[in-house]
Amino acid sequence: TWLVLGGGGLYAVFPLAYATILPALYAPLIAMLIGLIFRGVSFEFRWRTTRGKFLWDWGFAGGSLLATFAQGITLGALVQGIHVVDRAYAGGWW
């Protein structure tokens, strides 16, 4: 929820920053969302199975690791700076 509110708030208050920053961070933000979704699914389905609990435990750990790694990449990209030319993002997707 806070990711959606953060993105919507950035778009509402600073549309130019939204248009510049988000294309630079699409890949790590989508990876973070996938990790968080997998984490939630693993947490929910772990309690519904009797035989595959270890698989859902690994899924939870993998989703957590992916989300953490993606947050680190996002923070690193912001600290390094985003290459902007003519008020638009000028870098690649990775």
Domains of the chain, residue spans:
2-89
At 33 the pLDDT is 92
pLDDT score at 42: 93
Q: What is the mean pLDDT of the chain?
A: 89
pLDDT of residue 94: 64
Is the sign of the CA dihedral 9, 84, 82, 35 positive or negative? positive
Q: What element of type H or E holds 1?
A: none
The pTM of this model reads 0.82
Residue 22 has pLDDT above 70, yes or no: yes
| 49 vs 58, residue with greater confidence | 58
Assigned token pair, 83: 């290459």
Dmax (CA) of the chain: 57
